[in-house]
């Protein structure tokens, strides 16, 4: 009789590393949403486990974002770009965050993968989740200030703030 595989057994098959992307690229404005996307997809690995050929399938099921300012969020998706969502820049998304103050912040994320194994007779769920860091990215949050001026920048390109 074959042993039941555990997360420790399948962890050696190493899920594909994920990446973390903020938009706009590395710069945000205090008070406006900065969109963050963790790129992770379901994928398989093959090899041997318990001296038997096996396919291990990893499925991302949750994403834990830490925005570096004391704010954290859990999501069932890694998010999507504003373009993929068909929305304007600075639109709030399920994985975006609006920083209150200017500064430099490091964003991190952990992707939690569910694992399934197939020894040739169908998929079998492995209990638990495997947390894989999605890396980190640093963002610079700036302040936006406005001023009333006599003409627009199109009318007076050398005007104040143009």
Judge whether 73 and 139 are in contact, CB under 8 Å: no
Burial (CB count <10 Å: 0-12, 13-18, 19+), residue 143: exposed
Domains of the chain, each with CATH number or no CATH:
7-142 (2.60.40.10)
Per-residue model confidence (pLDDT) at position 2: 62
Per-residue model confidence (pLDDT) at position 14: 76
Q: What is the pTM (predicted TM-score) of this model?
A: 0.82
Q: pLDDT truncated to tens, each residue of the chain (162 aa)? A: 467 888 888 888 877 777 899 998 889 999 999 999 999 999 999 999 999 999 999 999 999 999 999 999 999 999 999 999 999 999 999 999 999 999 999 999 999 999 999 999 999 999 999 999 988 999 999 988 777 778 877 888 887 767
Nearest CA-CA partner of 109 in 97, 117, 92: 97
Task: Report d(CA 75, CA 29) in Å as an integer.
Answer: 23
Contact 107, 20 (CB under 8 A): yes
């Amino acid at each position: 009789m074959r042993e039941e595989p555990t997360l420790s057994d399948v962890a050696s098959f190493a899920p594909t590393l994920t990446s973390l992307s903020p938009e706009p690229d590395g710069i945000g404005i205090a008070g406006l949403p900065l969109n963050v996307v963790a790129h992770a997809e379901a994928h398989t690995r093959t090899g041997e486990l318990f001296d038997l050929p096996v396919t291990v399938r990893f499925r991302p099921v949750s994403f834990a974002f830490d925005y570096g300012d004391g704010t954290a969020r859990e999501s069932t998706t890694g998010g999507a770009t504003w373009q993929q969502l068909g929305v304007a820049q600075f639109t709030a998304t399920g994985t975006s965050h609006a920083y209150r103050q200017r500064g430099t912040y490091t964003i991190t994320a952990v992707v939690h993968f569910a694992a399934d194994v197939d020894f040739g007779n169908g998929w079998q769920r492995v209990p638990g989740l495997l947390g894989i860091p999605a890396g980190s990215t640093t963002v610079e949050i700036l302040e936006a200030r406005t001023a009333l001026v006599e003409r627009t920048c199109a009318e007076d390109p050398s005007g104040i703030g143009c």
